[in-house]
Amino acid sequence: MRWKTDTYSGWGRALKAEGELARPERISALKALPLAPAMGARRSYGDAALNDSGRAVDMTRLDRIIGFDPETGLLEAEAGLSIAEMVRIFVPRGFLPAVMPGTGFATLGGCIAMDVHGKNHHHDGSFGAHVEEIRLLRGGKDVVISREKQKEVFRATLGGLGQTGVIMSAKIRLREIPGPSMQVQERRAESLEEHLNMLDASQARYTVGWLDATAKGAAMGRGIVEEAEHGHADAPAEEKAKSVPVDAPRFALSKPVVKAFNAQYYRRIPEGGQRRMRSIPDFFFPLDRIHDWNKLYGKRGFHQFQCVIPLSGRDALRGIVEAIASSGLASPLAVLKRLGPEGEGMLSFPMEGYTLAVDFPARAKTPALIEKLIALTAEAGGRIYLAKDSLADGASVRAMYPGHAKWAAIAAKGDPAGALQTDLTRRLGLRSAT
């Protein structure tokens, strides 16, 4: 297996790494490599998949389907299989991953390592809730873990950032669906209070809010709430994907441009709302239609802040939204969702409450703003999402995750030399139990 020196980054492109990468095509070739962090499609925004000055293993060629049982919906596949490929293969057969992240480029291994959540967390939990078994390369051994076999290692692996071992393959349970379309209801929310109330009241399986992060005053927190269910009808034809060929200039996401875009996007929904039918990829992965959309933020890239605030923390969330609107740094990409109860993973992000995700161009004022937002989140008893983080400090993050110390001990037992550490785990000191 050849190692090739390369420079690479997460999706935000603000943080980069240079080091040797290997791209095995067989599990046997993977197992023959020296132990190194595994990475998928690098759709994490910060440095979760980076190992600067070290080695890393690109798992995307390990993407084979090992088996599928249509009676139970149980799929076994290698870690590099993408969610989009699962959709392409199984939707025509009447099945879909039970939890879908915001991009189809995410891999099976990455979804487990980050315990991703979707628009249906309030109904169906996170990705890990639908994982039955994980095959790990741990402590030099090929082991299978589940809720019955090495339960604590299993819990540490869901959302465990790939630190408990290299995820080689997994068995997950797909959901049976009636057809390839989504029936979507879109309505305006005129303020943050109305926005949250609509999310609370929604009975739909899938619910998500787009938030105008530039709006102030009485309109602060306004947005669009989408509620969706699976449909029986054929899906509408999908638009041909476009791409951003070059890095956009700074003025492309200047304050006046973003404010004008957000106002127009908000008004595209009639006052009485609208219903429409969408394809599954269009509803779940709308940004995948624009390849390399991260180039819209220019050469310096961007940072994303994503938090979850407990249901009792509406005032804190209001303070966060107000700080973002006043900063003049927000982009058009701001998402608000209602999350359900906390899951099994020791470092899993979701907890019952409201999650807000906002992108910010990598500019001089951005770190200070995100530092303030993280502090407000901590004061409210919330937490930030490690799949999106690139700027947090270790002490604040470790305090947000009560299962951290136990997770660190399990990770250390399987990897005592720290060979699986990444730039993120070192930056945040996550492998330390204190």
- Name the class of domain 65-177: alpha beta
Q: SS3 for 8?
A: strand
136-173 per-residue burial string, b: 16 or more CB within 10 A, e: under 16? bbbeeeebebeeeebeebbbbbbbbbbbbbbbbbbbbb
Question: Given pLDDT bands bounded at 50, 70 and 90, which one contains residue 428?
Answer: very high
How far is Cα 188 from Cα 190, in angstroms, rounded to an integer? Answer: 6
The pLDDT score that the predictor gives to residue 236 is 85
| Mean pLDDT value across residues 319-348 | 97
For every residue of 204-273, DSSP letters joined together read SSEEEEEE-TT--GGGTT-EEEEEEEEESSPPPPPPPPEE--SPPPGGGG-HHHHHHHHHHHHHTS-TT-
Q: Are 380 and 310 in contact (CB under 8 A)?
A: yes
Domain boundaries, the chain: 4-58, 65-177, 181-397
Structure tokens at 119: 């628009």
The pLDDT score that the predictor gives to residue 382 is 98
pLDDT at 218 over 90: yes
How far is Cα 81 from Cα 171, in angstroms, rounded to an integer? Answer: 12
321-330 per-residue burial string, b: 16 or more CB within 10 A, e: under 16? bbebbebebb
The pLDDT score that the predictor gives to residue 362 is 97
CA distances from 14 to 47, 49, 345, 389, 394 (A): 9, 13, 28, 11, 19
Q: For the ranges 45-54, 55-64, 225-234, 236-245, which has the lowest average pLDDT?
A: 236-245
pTM reported for the whole predicted model: 0.97
Tens-place pLDDT, residues 61-96: 999 999 999 999 999 999 999 999 999 999 999 999
Question: Given pLDDT bands bounded at 50, 70 and 90, which one contains residue 427?
Answer: very high
The pLDDT score that the predictor gives to residue 291 is 94
Q: Are 162 and 386 in contact (CB under 8 A)?
A: no
Q: Given this chain, do its domains 65-177 and 181-397 carry the same CATH topology?
A: no
Tell me the one-letter amino acid at 417: A
Query: Which element (helix H / strand E) includes 189?
Result: strand 181-189
The pLDDT score that the predictor gives to residue 433 is 84
- CA-nearest of 358, 226, 343, 340 to 282 is 226
- In the CATH scheme, what architecture does the domain 181-397 have? 3-Layer(aba) Sandwich (3.40)
Beta-carbon contacts of residue 217 (< 8 Å; ≥ 6 apart): none
Tens-place pLDDT, residues 275-285: 999 999 999 99
Question: Given pLDDT bands bounded at 50, 70 and 90, which one contains residue 294?
Answer: very high
The pLDDT score that the predictor gives to residue 251 is 86
Burial class (CB in 10 A: 0-12, 13-18, 19+), 92: exposed
Tell me the one-letter amino acid at 420: L
CA distances from 211 to 3, 30, 167, 188, 321 (A): 44, 43, 35, 10, 10
The pLDDT score that the predictor gives to residue 335 is 98
How far is Cα 261 from Cα 335, in angstroms, rounded to an integer? Answer: 16
